[in-house]
Chains A and B, each alone.
Chain A
Amino acid sequence: MRHDIRVAGFGGQGMLLAGLLIGKAAALYDGKEAVLTQSYGPEARGGASNADVIIDDDPIDYPLITRPDYFVAMFQEAYERYRPVMVKDGILLIESDLVKPWPDEGPYRGIPATRVAEELGRRIVANVVMVGFFSGATGLISAHAGEQAIRNTLRPRLVDLNLKAFNAGYEYAKKQEAS
């Protein structure tokens, strides 16, 4: 089954890396098919920035997303821009300190990813906290695959910190479910 995922935030929040880790985890370590595309061009610099990932059990033909089934919003402007195109009953995940959902928003799940990252010592890994949260909350990528993607993407000296970030996000999702 095909799952269309949009990860969106502010330029500089590392949305492309988040998308790359999700796609790579699925395509190389979970035995799925995955495609990553990104908004590309001057309009993508500053303001809302997004990465689109498709995960499927079968080969993927059309590689673009028009209406995401999963929407990860890391920033208010990104939420406001892309929320209207999410499918009805889609899964919404937000950075709960940076996104204030509209009053009529349906069910969603949130994590203060930037704060969690700061507690780990580097706010820059908020994107990877969110990838861990995505893994824990949706199950679309396994924790093992997420960790493998981190090990085989980031420079060696950054791996430990990012694994911690991933696991923090993942555990946050699992605790949220339990409570």
Chain B
Amino acid sequence: MSDQERVLTGSHFLLGDHACAEGAMAAGCDLFAGYPITPSTETAERLALRMPAVGAIFLQMEDELASMSALVGASLAGARAMSATSGPGFALMMENIGMAAMMEAPCVVVNIQRGAPSTGLPTLVGQSDMMQCKWGSHGDYEIVAYSPSSPQECFDHVIKAFNTADRWRIPVFVMADELIGHMTERVVIPPADQIPRVERKRPRHKPGDPSFLHCLAEDEDLVPPIVHAGEGYRVNFDSLTHDEKGYPATFPDPHDRLVRRLVNKIRLHTDQIMEYEEIFLDDAELAVIAYGSTARSARRAVNEARKDGIRVGLLRLITVWPFPENKVRELSKQVKAFVVPEVNLGQMSRETERFTSLPVIGVNHAGGVMMAPDPIFDTIREVAKNA
């Protein structure tokens, strides 16, 4: 490995965790702040080697609370900032994830999920942080979460995450799982000039312009331009409810206005953010919805069921949040039931239920082992027989 290059253009046989690290490198991540935790440690380990060699900053923090604080600070100073963790560390980040949402500080957190709750299964797979990443901090806010199914997607999704974070000024999560983080597969890294990069929206006003309100979102996208510390603007970032100047305004009306905007900037633009892959859905009478490592088993199960003549398709989530609610509504007019396998006791299956009146059948395991194709296949067969 050439440690001196930002972008390791070429084909590699890479561990998922390392692919997350290379995604950060290719995305131009300026600062990583984290606290090592299995099964995400290899991401930090590789970045500890890689980042200083290109003049970027790697910080090992005292804990995950501080890691998340460092991300917010770095972000507001103009840096692309990332951390990597797993469930217990992610739980500790929640308070300051809310702060990132409130201050509209773009940042990226990779969560290599393991069996939970609590310290649970440190070395074994889980997918049970899907609701935590959506609702973990207090208050109403919106985030975006990607769910890679391969080391290649670990690389790709980290780049997407940085671009989405900067575009919408939100914290963005890459919700991988231990199986994907610890598997090694081919990862193709494109030339540096082909890595997509979305720049942050910057103010039109010059520093010192008294008419500039840095928390005012004038555009249709509801995203205010971001000012960076040290550029000469007199700005105030506050986690308290603030007005368009950024000063505390802890009253009902400004609060409703601000929180509604933080939520609507994502909810009104999900079509620009949401991504999924459709496999055999055109003529499907049954739809499987899956993500992360489980999507690989779901693909096998769907292929096997097709060989048996069952008209089943797969909706593979690339963003788990925003959830493709309109796609589920649309499929509800076509299919007879949904099958949702996941390594938790029913998180995205519950989300599916919100958008359909059809039966939603979960295939669940609490964690510790990758979802195998067989229970998904058996459920597909069972449901197809009764549908």
Binding site for B on A (CB under 8 A): 20, 23-24, 27-28, 33-38, 40-42, 60-64
Q: Who on chain A is nearest to B373 by CB?
A: A62
- Given A37-B183, A41-B123, A62-B372, A24 contacting B13 (CB threshold 8 A): yes
Shortest Cβ-Cβ A-B pairs, 4 listed: A41-B123, A36-B184, A24-B13, A61-B300
Q: Can you offer 22 A-B residue contacts whose CB atoms are under 8 A?
A: A23-B184, A27-B11, A28-B11, A28-B12, A33-B186, A34-B13, A34-B185, A34-B186, A36-B13, A36-B183, A36-B185, A37-B179, A37-B183, A41-B123, A42-B123, A60-B185, A61-B296, A62-B300, A63-B179, A63-B293, A63-B296, A63-B370
Contact partner of B297 among A23, A34, A61, CB < 8 A?
A: A61
- Given A61-B303, A62-B297, A64-B370, A35 contacting B182 (CB threshold 8 A): no
For residue B76, CB closer than 8 A to chain A, the reply is no
Contact with A along B281-323 (1 / 0, CB 8 A): 0000000000001001101100100000000000000000000
Give A147 to B122 CA distance when docked, in angstroms.
36
Q: Is the CB of B13 within 8 A of A20?
A: yes
Q: Which of B75-133 contact A (CB under 8 A)?
A: 122-124
Q: Is the CB of B186 within 8 A of A28?
A: yes
For residue B341, CB closer than 8 A to chain A, the reply is no
Give A28 to B250 CA distance when docked, in angstroms.
58
For residue B148, CB closer than 8 A to chain A, the reply is no
For residue B39, CB closer than 8 A to chain A, the reply is yes
Q: Cβ of A41: which chain B residues have Cβ within 8 Å of it?
A: 122-124
- Distance in angstroms from B39 CB to nearest chain A CB is 7
Q: Who on chain B is nearest to A33 by CB?
A: B186
- Distance in angstroms from A2 CB to nearest chain B CB is 11
Q: Is the CB of B123 within 8 A of A27?
A: no
Q: Is the CB of B13 within 8 A of A28?
A: yes
Q: Is the CB of A35 within 8 A of B297?
A: no
Q: Cβ of A38: which chain B residues have Cβ within 8 Å of it?
A: 182
Give A87 to B111 CA distance when docked, in angstroms.
36
- Given A27-B13, A62-B372, A62-B373, A40 contacting B182 (CB threshold 8 A): yes
- Given A23-B13, A61-B300, A37 contacting B186 (CB threshold 8 A): no
Q: Is the CB of A40 within 8 A of B123?
A: yes
Q: Is the CB of A27 within 8 A of B296?
A: no
Q: Is the CB of A61 within 8 A of B186?
A: no
Give A41 to B11 CA distance when docked, in angstroms.
29
Give A37 to B296 CA distance when docked, in angstroms.
14
Q: Cβ of B297: which chain A residues have Cβ within 8 Å of it?
A: 61-62
Q: Cβ of B185: which chain A residues have Cβ within 8 Å of it?
A: 27, 34-36, 60, 63
Give A64 to B178 CA distance when docked, in angstroms.
13
Contact partner of B296 among A20, A33, A62, CB < 8 A?
A: A62
Q: Who on chain A is nearest to B12 by CB?
A: A28
